[in-house]
Amino acid sequence: DTGVSQDPRHKITKRGQNVTFRCDPISEHNRLYWYRQTLGQGPEFLTYFQNEAQLEKSRLLSDRFSAERPKGSFSTLEIQRTEQGDSAMYLCASSEAGVTGELFFGEGSRLTVL
């Protein structure tokens, strides 16, 4: 399978703990995005990488959130000191340069904060 893969698919944690999600994009895609989706809502943009450079961050991304994409390949999204409001599906997507808007999404990582 050469699609976007995310790990873990589901994470249950206690409030205050740190969690990290990993995304492996389609290998030839240089753009990588993180989105968050809560129940009854559409995906909301969190952050964008072009190769290894993080070019944009949403104001939704508080200081407790950090994302990296070392070497322009896989990406990680870390949430520190989780809160119950962080419970959501975290979606990673990748795309090719020059293709408008056609993002390839992974299956998502569902976070439940107790």
Cβ at position 109, least distance to other proteins in Å: 11
Residue 45 CB, nearest distance to other proteins (Å)? 5
Question: Site for other proteins (CB under 8 A): which residue of 61, 91, 111, 113?
Answer: 91
Give the footprint of other proteins on residues 17-46 (CB under 8 A): 31, 33, 35, 40-45
Give the chain's end-to-end CA distance (angstroms, integer).
Answer: 33
DSSP bridge partners of 18: none
DSSP line for 17-56 = --EEEEEE--TT--EEEEEEE-TTS--EEEEEEETTEEEE
Of 12-20, 64-72, 73-81, 98-106, the segment contacting other proteins by CB under 8 A is 98-106
Upstream peptide bond of 8 is cis (omega within 30 degrees of 0): yes
Provide the binding-site residues for other proteins, judged by CB under 8 A. 4, 31, 33, 35, 40-45, 48, 50, 55-56, 91, 93, 95, 100-108
